[in-house]
Chain A
Amino acid sequence: METEATRSILPLLAFALPIVAAVLTVPAQRVSEHARAALLLVVAAAVAAVALVLAAGVASGTVYDTYILQLTPQIWMYLRVDAAGALFGATVAVLWLLALVYSLGYMREEHRLGRYYGFFILCLSWTMGLAYAGNLLTFLIFYELFSILTYPLVVHEETPEAMAAGTKYIVYILFGGTLVLLAIVLTFFSAGVQTFTAGGILSPETDPSMLQVIFWCFLGGFGVKAALVPLHGWVPDAHPAAPAPFSAVLSGVMVAAGSFGIIRTVFQVFGTSLLTSMGVMPYVTGVAGFTVLFAAALAVNQDNLKRRLAYSTISQMAYVVLAVSLLGPESTVGALVHITNHAFMKGGLFLCAGLFIRRLGAYNVQQLDGAARRMPITAACFAIACLGMIGTPPLSGFTSKWYLGLGMLETEKPWLLAVLLGGALMAAIYLLPIVYRMYFREPVITPEDRTVAEGREAPATMLGPLVAATAITLLLGIGASLPGMPVALARMATDAFFH
């Protein structure tokens, strides 16, 4: 244990409040839709507040923990908020709040809203639990719960495509979860204790082939969620099928949960010195580097906007794994910061995609010609997020890639800069033409286009969260070096990892 932890009820609240809210949505919607909306908003805002308070506390040097349940005589369900967890938790909670507000506008005319909102808020609970999980089994609990219980959100629209995507999702995720469980069982069998510890919990004396098996099971299992090629198959199908606000969290934090799992595994289950001696990391670098370029190449040809963004997520999340695989402090800072930065950029892009669908009936890139004239604010947000994604300074995407690049030089692998720059170049190739179409092409008025008659921008419930996400992207970029910002937390986490 690095730091003595302070017992606190806050981590417990972050995961318990949404469960209470999910249960209460049923009676609340009997009262009225407004009651349900108010309940959900209050709880999501409270969770975001708790997450930010915890992040601020962690930034000032405290570590919080809570014991919840004794699962077996040896293992507790245990929450522990360290710097990495606090950063991820705050990201999750804020993005969720934005997506929830957006849902209130976006989902208005949808069916089965009780189910949607119930599971939407429930999944916040599992994801917060995942961020704050203090040991492997707790991590697994939340990982499995949120994998399985997001299914109703993925298939929400119940179109044949959504159902097919849902089946694909659940099959991938169950296999991934099984591998993670196997890895955790093997870890427990080899090491006993499971509390995440900097420097790792597996001892170097463990049978080397056992270590290899554990490592690849973890990587394979989390790799499904983190969408490492060739385990990425569910991502491009699930994103277009899901409702836009859920696509935003799916891309922003769900995929990142897999990367977060890999970070925990690498630094707090194995530890850097063990992994260096095992010699597995170059392979991971290879897989991640390939994923960055391969997914970006596939993104270029996608006409469906959400599908293109989904491939972009695969590519961008592989940066995180790539950064982790270098086992250097600077790149690790980059990895942690990139999770947060990507969450708001990609979340923002999906929120835009949802608005294009709702306001212009535009699902495909080609339908976005001249969109900027009819939806100037949305288009501006989209353009900013795109530039951030490419890594233009001073936007947040630049910050993370800067650290990643530093890490590559620090670990003396300068040729990897080619991957970094190649990925950025490809992002420009698959994102900028959209921006170009929006600003420099004449709009084509389609029959189903309702915006001509009824005004242009979306109402504030949808536009507000989008603008907020964009503002956060700007803030994270411009204010990157301020105290209490993600970089500071990521630095603390990295210091702990490398002590």
Chain B
Amino acid sequence: MEVVDARVALAPAISLLCGALVFAAADNTFWRRFWSVSAALAKLGIVMSMLPGSLRGVVYTFDLVEFTPGVGLAFRADALGMFFSVVSSTLWLFTTVYAIGYMEREPNRRRFFGFFALCVSTTVGVAFAENLLTMFLFYETLTICTYPLVIHDETPEAMRAGRTYLVYTLTGGAFVLLGSIWTYQLAGTMTLSQPGILSMEAGRTTLTALFVCLIAGFGVKAAIMPLHGWLPTAMVAPTPVSALLHAVAVVKVGAFGVLRTIYNVFGVELLRELGVCDWLAALAAVTIVTASIIAIFQDNFKRRLAFSTISQLSYIVLGAALLSPLAATAAIVHIANQAFAKITMFFVAGSIQRTTGKTTIHELAGIGYRMPYTMGAFTVAALSFIGIPLFAGFVTKWYLSLGALESDRWIYALVMLGSALLNAAYWLPIVYTAFFKAPHEEVVVQEAHWTMLGPTLACAAYVLLLGMTVSVPGMPFALAQAAVTFVFGM
């Protein structure tokens, strides 16, 4: 059932408004904080108010403008879009609170919080985009809005990373635009409301080229190897930005774009016939394993996190590329599972950096006794990535393994289980260093400020919640299932 409802447009708009208000607040700290937090709350409220309807199967739509007939800006909150926006608006709230604590003494806070809000606005815009054009528009705006955040420190290194970031993502954006126009030319529409709009009539070669074009475009942000180069360098950004980039906005928008391409532009049936997804799955599997192996050798905390992100994002791509309902469930829920666990880790890395100034892993000996709650949260996230049952990551591992079997590609089940072991190989040493290596100095409990510790613990609690409670109504899991049901026409 489709209902026209302005809330779909209001959700992205409210962060936009917040961005404007933050800029208007100039250097007044109170108003900047006030607008940031209240916009985060308002947006979460709006998205959550749509959740019950969405769980009943209602799809909210809103057409903003129509440029020419059939081409315009339109919003549509289907199950997949709702899932993504619930995750991103929840995390935005946590990240905003964290950023307030983290950025306490940084310069240029106005620019930071302003663009921060704009980023989330565009993320929800992508989530609710009804057609490829709307999606492209927000996708590109996101690139522009994150640039000032990446170069926030304005060091030469940051400027360089910013340039790399722009070159990669703008090129990707160009491919998305090309793909969108091409799709319009082939299908006569750009809507994302159908389980596939293209058909085999377009010809095998054309469709393959289009697929490559769209996946390459979205794959840059989803950091599929070899398009991942920007991500580790963008780690120079302040930690809340890294958290936002890695867990919520940028990379997830890329992964979400891949999901939309596979499920709503091409459709499962067509892709099965076309056979290109086998290549994508193989590429994703290679990314999963390679990035994990590289991660093992990173001593810089945030760089290790970066390579882990590259690896984890490809879980989503792999899940989508397997074209089986169970793997699709894994792909969608992993958006949330990875997001909450990874953001926990970034919060931890940031808290440690702010509290102790330490940025490399070998310096962390005994940190678990200095910051027990922070490192406890880290351990929860680490166990989730390893896929210990009752933690969020297990749900992904379980469904993706089953999905691999369902689609008769058991090798990917082995890749999943192997990847879990690799995750253990690079996360457990950190836990070990923190809790089981004697600290070099006298240990006094010294946690980060509550604005940083609170979001860290909340996200860690979410990791547990996501792993345990599919039965609680309103958890995104039901949305993921609704999305899968729609896409596979079950």
Contacts and interface: CB of A to CB of B under 8 A. Distances in A.
Instruction: Give the 5 A-B residue pairs with the shortest CB-CB distance, closest first.
Output: A70-B471, A141-B389, A189-B405, A185-B401, A178-B417
Given A148-B388, A178-B421, A185-B413, A71 B468 contact: yes
Nearest to A147: B388
A72 B390 contact: no
B436 interface: yes
Contact of B436 (A72, A158, A186): A158
Given A72-B395, A188-B402, A175 B421 contact: yes
B383 interface: yes
Interface of B: 383, 386-390, 395, 397-399, 401-402, 405-406, 413-414, 417, 420-421, 424, 428, 435-436, 438, 468-471, 481
Given A141-B390, A175-B421, A185-B398, A69 B428 contact: no
Contacts, number: 59
Contact of A148 (B383, B435, B436): B383
Nearest to B472: A70
Contacts of A144: 388-389
Interface of A: 69-73, 137, 140-141, 144-145, 148, 152, 155, 158, 163, 166, 170, 174-175, 178, 181-182, 185-186, 188-189
A186 B421 contact: no
A181 B417 CA distance: 8
Contacts of B435: 152
A275 B43 CA distance: 58
A441 B398 CA distance: 59
Contacts of A152: 435-436
A161 B105 CA distance: 45
A189 B402 contact: yes
B405 A186 contact: yes
19 contacts: A69-B469, A71-B470, A72-B395, A73-B481, A140-B389, A141-B390, A145-B388, A145-B390, A155-B436, A163-B436, A170-B424, A178-B420, A181-B387, A181-B397, A181-B401, A181-B417, A182-B417, A185-B401, A185-B405
Nearest to B435: A152
Nearest to A189: B405
B461 to A, nearest CB: 14
Nearest to A166: B436
Contacts of A163: 436
Chain A: interface secondary structure? helix
Greatest chain B CB density within 10 A among A140, A158, A189 is at A189
B452 to A, nearest CB: 22
Contacts of B414: 182
Contacts of B413: 182, 185
Contacts of B387: 181
Contacts of A72: 395, 398-399, 470
Contacts of A70: 469-471
Contacts of B390: 141, 145
B377 to A, nearest CB: 16
Given A71-B470, A72-B398, A140-B389, A174 B405 contact: no
A189 B383 CA distance: 25
A359 to B, nearest CB: 29
Nearest to A213: B410
A63 B424 CA distance: 38
A158 B368 CA distance: 15
Given A72-B470, A178-B417, A185-B402, 15 more contacts: A69-B468, A73-B470, A145-B389, A148-B383, A148-B388, A152-B436, A174-B421, A174-B424, A181-B387, A182-B413, A185-B401, A185-B413, A186-B405, A188-B402, A189-B405
B173 to A, nearest CB: 37
A185 B383 CA distance: 19
Contacts of B405: 185-186, 189
Nearest to B405: A189
A188 B403 CA distance: 12
Contacts of B406: 189
Contacts of B383: 148
A341 to B, nearest CB: 31
A19 to B, nearest CB: 12
Contacts of A158: 436, 438
Greatest chain B CB density within 10 A among A140, A148, A185, A186 is at A185
Contacts of B470: 70-73
B346 to A, nearest CB: 23
Contacts of A174: 386, 421, 424
A310 to B, nearest CB: 22
A385 B244 CA distance: 60
Nearest to B388: A144
Contacts of A181: 387, 397, 401, 417
Contact of B428 (A141, A145, A170): A170
